[in-house]
Homo-oligomer: A and B are copies of this chain.
């Protein structure tokens, strides 16, 4: 009916507002320009020149042959993998607990949960540095991947609150009658949890996992402060390459990281959208 249609005025209406269009268009272009340049110049056949010299994949080849870059990438993936698993478990438990139970100090816990999201990362970094340098030094010289333990713990500490927030939001839409229905039909508490609550949380768990993964993969500051000299991650490696000079190799490495992150996020959003549409169809 008419109600639906009026939500979408034709393109004509928009065209009448070209000043708005111009401002926003220019802004978008200006703000994204640096990122575009970064990516474009990873394909530029010149070491120092900002003028386009021709297309090349040389710098990607170089990046792939740089064994310390590859090692850093492997470290990053390993850290992100463990961080994701731990964050999802802890985050989901926390979310269920906050959603389900009343207990003394609940508000305080909810506030504390949000802290790592809010605290400046430089401060988190300093805190981790102080902690692992003085209070509880992580044993050095341990075999891979145990040497990554400190970084994983540091990453979990800022990633799991995001998971908890996402899962908590998902739980808000849970119909408690579903749980009662399962019990009414003969299910125990435990079966109800697995048969009803976990399937409902699933999109939140997936979104949270992807979030934790990309947060861990992309983190520079906290890793930089926590990591010992022998454990380099991808962003830290990119940084250290920069200290010498900005080479197209850095551009290539950055582009790879951007692509990985964007793809992961796009997949996550797509999955959430599908779930939302299913939920709407109901």
Contact = CB atoms under 8 A, between A and B. Distances in A.
B103 A32 contact: no
Protomer copies:
2
Interface stretch (A13-21, A55-63, A198-206): A13-21
Contact of A34 (B130, B246, B257, B258): B130
Interface string A201-226: 00000000000001001101100010
B101 A17 contact: yes
B251 A130 contact: yes
Interface in A83-132: 90, 93-94, 97, 100-104, 109, 112-116, 118-124, 126-131
A126 B14 contact: no
A262 B156 contact: no
Contact of A126 (B134, B214, B251, B265): B251
Contacts of A24: 90, 93-94, 97
B176 A262 contact: no
Query: Among the interface residues A28, A33, A239, which one has the most CB atoms of the partner chain B within 10 A?
Result: A28
B130 A41 contact: yes
A16 to B, nearest CB: 10
Interface string A124-151: 1011111101110000000000000000
A201 to B, nearest CB: 15
Interface of A: 6-11, 13-15, 17, 20-21, 23-24, 27-28, 31-35, 37-38, 41, 50, 90, 93-94, 97, 100-104, 109, 112-116, 118-124, 126-131, 133-135, 156-157, 160, 176, 214, 217-218, 220-221, 225, 235, 238-239, 242, 246, 250-251, 254-255, 257-258, 261-262, 265
